[in-house]
Amino acid sequence: MKLELGIPVWLLCGILGAWIATTKGRGGCFWFLTCAVLGPIGLVFAAVVSKKSQKD
């Protein structure tokens, strides 16, 4: 994969992963970095992680 295509794809994976994680109550910054480094594999991890339980 060329660098001109790879960097935007990995950044997009990071943004999508952070969005998915924050909708589940998880930390967006951690998931952005995780998904940006792992790419599509990180998106799968973000999608299958469980929602964070609300403790009252």
pLDDT in tens, 22-55: 999 998 899 999 999 999 999 999 999 888 777 6
User: Does residue 1 register a pLDDT over 90?
Assistant: no
Residue 54 is predicted with a pLDDT of 72
Tell me the average pLDDT across 2-19: 88
CA dist list (Å): 18 to 1, 10, 40, 55:
24, 12, 13, 22
CB 49 within 8 A of CB 21: yes
| Closest to 50 in 3D by CA, of 24, 31, 16, 28 | 24
Pairwise pLDDT comparison (17 vs 53), residue with the higher score = 17
